[in-house]
Each structure stands twice: as structure tokens, then as C-alpha cells.
Amino acid sequence: MRRSGFERRLRDELRSAAPPRAGEAERRAWHVVRAAHAERSPARVVHRGRRLALAAVAAALLAVVALSPAGAKVGDWIGDVVDSGPKSTRSALGPLPAPGRLLVVSPGGPWVVEGDGARRRLGRYRDATWSPGGLYVAAAHGRQLVALEPDGDERWVRPAAGLVSAPRWSPDGFRIAYRSGDDLWVVWGNNGRNWLLARGVGAAPPAWQPGREPWEQVVAFPAGDRIRIVQVDGRRKLGATPAGPEPRELWWTRDGRRLVAVSATAIRVFGPRGRLLRVHPLPPRLRAEGSAMDAVGRRLAVTASRAGGGSELLVYGLERGGAPRRLFAGQGFIEGVAWSIDGRMLVFGLPQTDQWVFLRPDGRGRLEQVVPRIREWFAGSRAARRPGAAFPRPAGWCYAEPKDRSETGQPPCSTGAAAP
């Protein structure tokens, strides 16, 4: 099959699940509704003739919505606006200090925070991750993998034999790798095909290699004391790393030429087939807990616990090498870290003080904003408010409006640190 035909078929199958540019249709519908409301008389008494006229206008608007390509999506949006129990609520976060939307994973389920600070709970799911352009969210729910729209609507559900965890979208958006128990599976983005890739894999989430053609997508994952690099459709092994410590997280640089493995005491950098290129030991008395790669794949943020108590946030320059820059040091632990989509902001959580910290990674780190009472804003249930509950963590930053990466050429959404 020719490349253009293959790409077109996969793209058409995915788009058939949900219309693109639904946000634009929503805005047009909102302008129509707002204009009609502005012209409405404030008088309480509505004559029968006027009532019939308003009904006719509403019927015409519904007909336009129903016949438009994004009609179903706009209909859902109108339902959200007029329902007595709206899903989207205003939070005390205030506007985000960088463009885009923030994905948050809390004990009560994942949330999406809009740029103006409004937040929307997606449901009672355990883990979640953005698709490359932010069109969808993949989430784990017990023994199910679920594909959602950012407003919480389910697109499909895939049952699994074991507990689902660590879902990750491929760079082209047409596949999702996920753990089912201790095994690694891959499913098409439209839920059309699902297959076992490897048994008995490590706990670190799989990492997709950027820059590959749609029909030759490659994923790296831990297996024993090595990291395997496999072409997923044909289950063809392309390489493996030398034996070493078990990684906590895996990342690829944007050009796909470097695979970065973060273990407790070192950061190892490999070539695309697994050859060890260099090792960056963590500073003395520090132990890596979490990490996040910026959207363009040049900087790695690492959260580390300090022997004797306390924690630090370090940033490694993957292109120039050298010692890391320390952006933050304090008491307690850091839980969760994510880059803004433009790479100008880092956000991380401080469970002991119930805060999020937004920090600019320039120089030694410039404090931008501190948000208190995080547990309260992202609880979602009584159990999530208990002192021993997991802390709501930033799980990724994405565009303010969903983007089709094949058309825009933009980098994928940033992915936050994995669940502890």
C-alpha cells in the first residue's frame, strides 16, 4: 500500500470517531445563542406570539446544528451549557501562566484545566495521558482502557485481562501502548485492532520514538535489566540496551536519535538501537523520583529526593550535556512535574504544603506562581480528601485548541511524570 493511501485511511478512520475543529463550531453556536439572548426582552410576561417566534428560532438553530458536520459535538456542548449540573466549574487556580490546557490526575479521577483556570473532571479513571495534538485523552479504569474527548465523553472502551496502567499514544496518534498487568499491549487509536507486544515488562511507561513513518512506529520498554526497542506492527526487535539498573521512566529526544533512561541514581543516554552513549550520575545524596521531557525534546526535568530529607528539581540539557541546573530545593517531597507546551514553564506539586509551584526554567529558576489548596480543588470524592490520599499531579500540558499534527507540524503535547 502506498504511503499516502495508508495515512489517508488511518486518518479517516480516526476522524470518523469525532469531527475535527469541533471547537470552532462550538464558538459559532455560542455566538448565535449569545446574540439571541442579548435581543431577548427582560420582561417577565411573554406573549404567545413571541413564544412561538422564539421556538421557531430555536428549532432553526437545532436544525443547523444537526445538519452540520460537527452537529453531534455541538449538541453535546449545548447540553453541557443548559444542564442543571454542569461538568465544568470555575476554580481558584486563576489563569494558567502559560498557554494551553493542563491535564491533572488526582485520586478522584483526571481533570482538564483550561487556560482561564476553569476545570473539568473527566470521570473516575486512574491514569490519563494526552493524544499528540490534544484531540483525545487515554485513561485507565480498572481492567479497561478508555479513549475520551477532553470534555469527558467516552469514544470507546477496550477490556483487558489485567489492571490497565501507563497508557501512551504514538507520535502519529494512531496507536496506544498500555500495560495490562505486567504485559505490554498495543491498540489502534480507533479501537479497531489490539495485540500483545511483550510479556513481563517493567513498570516504566513505554516510550514511542518520534520521526517514524505511520506503518513503522517504534516503542521502547523495560524488560528485565535491559530496555528493548521494537517495531510494533511487525513485533520486530530493532535493538536492546546493555544490562543496567531498572529505569523509572523512558524518553526519546524529538529527533528520535537519543533514548533517555532515568533510573534512581543516573541518567543513561542511548542511541536509537540501544548503544550506550553516556551516563549522567545524579549529584551525591540525590535519588531520582520523577521526570518530564519538554515538548521539543531538549531538556529533561528530574525531581529527586535528598538523603536526610528534602527534595530538588534539576534540569538537564540533553544537547549540550554537562552538569544539571538546580531550579528548586526545599523540604518534603515533589510529586508530579510537567512542562508547558511552549517550554517556558514547569509545574510541580508539593504535597506537604498542599501546593503547586509554577516555575520558569530560565537561569536558576524564577518563581511565577504558587497555587494553594490543591487537594480541595481536585478532590472529586470524599476519599480523595483524606490526608493519606495521593496528591493531584500535573500529568501533561497541551494546546488550548486540539490540533491535527499532520497538518500543523507542531510538537506533541508534553507528558508529565508517571504515577509514583
Q: Give tens-digit pLDDT for 127-167.
A: 999 999 899 999 999 999 999 999 999 999 999 999 999 99
Do 358 and 404 belong together in one domain?
Answer: yes
Cα–Cα distance between 327 and 351 in angstroms, integer?
18
pLDDT at 92 over 60: no
To the nearest whole number, what is the mean pLDDT of the chain? 81
pLDDT at residue 13, rounded to an integer: 53
Mean pLDDT of 394-399: 95
CB atoms inside a 10 Å sphere around CB 116: 12
Q: Is the pLDDT of residue 62 over 60?
A: no
In this structure, are 306 and 350 located in the same domain?
yes
Question: Which of 19-33, 60-74, 174-188, 239-253 is least confident?
Answer: 60-74
**Count of beta carbons in the 10 Å neighbourhood of residue 369:** 16
* Total length of the chain: 420
Asked whether residue 150 falls in the same domain as residue 131, the answer is yes
- Look at residue 271 and tell me if it is in a domain: no
Predicted pLDDT at 2:
40
Whether 206 has a pLDDT exceeding 90, the answer reads: yes
Q: What are phi and psi of 155, to 5 degrees?
A: -95, -45
Q: DSSP for 164-219, please give it.
A: EEEEEE-TTSSEEEEEETTEEEEEETTSS-EEEEESS--SSPPEEPTT--GGG-EE
Q: Which of 160, 213, 209, 204 is nearest to 186 (CA)?
A: 160
Look at residue 46 and give its three-state secondary structure.
Answer: coil
What is the rounded distance in angstroms from the CA atom of residue 209 to the CA atom of residue 218? 5
**Cell numbers describing residue 273:** 538501537
Checking if the pLDDT of 35 tops 60, the result is no
pLDDT on residue 1: 43
Mean local confidence (pLDDT), 257-262: 97
Least confident of 13-17, 46-50, 61-65, 315-319: 61-65
Single-letter residue type at 79 = G
Asked if 129 and 242 sit in the same domain, the reply is: yes
* Confidence grade of residue 287 (pLDDT, cut at 50, 70, 90): very high
- The reported pLDDT for the residue numbered 246 is 95
Of the pLDDT bands very low, low, confident and very high (cuts 50, 70, 90), residue 191 is very high
Domain count of the chain? 3
174/229 same-domain check: yes
265, part of any domain: no
Q: Does residue 273 lie within any of the structural domains?
A: no
The verdict on 76 and 99 lying in the same domain is no
Of 59, 82, 105, the one marking the end of a domain is: 82
**Which domain range does residue 67 map to?**
3-82
Statement: residue 67 has pLDDT above 50: no
